[in-house]
Amino acid sequence: MSLMVGKIAPDFSLEGTSGTFSSADLKGNWAIVFFFPKAKTSVCQSEVLAFNQHFNEFASLGTQIVGISVDDIDTLTSWVQELGSFNYPLLSDKDHVVSKAFEVFSERDKISYRGLFILDPEGKIRYQVVQEPFFGRSIEEVKRILQALQSGGPCPVDWKPEG
């Protein structure tokens, strides 16, 4: 895996739970692109539901959310039907092309690691974190990092937006 911060995010177009979605759909907005290992697992379920529960907070910050896994579209669609309505698309990277382009794919396990990328409105990766698949991320920390990036200034340890 290499450092992707500062680079333009890879282009992609994938089938998703809301139809075809491409990286071009993110241009002009801040974006959170997160990868999760497998649908229908407890950690992944907790994470995709948490992003959904906080969707309006991210939207108020001018930020789109996209979740990507190597599951096929039928698996993702049935999972969304089980979980209820979703405010953002889950995308199927069944051929592993996008997971490999973002360098989060595990050849050994044939899944994506739990990767998260924050893109600025020009499509540049401003934040990257990749972790093993067994524990979820903190939505509050993702929001804090996004707000820090959007502030445009230095943000010391434990910085929080005013208000």
Catalytic residue numbers read 44
d(CA 31, CA 58): 9
Residue 126 φ/ψ, nearest 5 degrees: -105, -15
Q: Are 39 and 74 in contact (CB under 8 A)?
A: no
d(CA 76, CA 40): 9
Angle made by CA atoms 152, 35, 100, in degrees to the nearest 5: 100
Residues counted in the chain: 163
Residue 113 φ/ψ, nearest 5 degrees: -70, 170
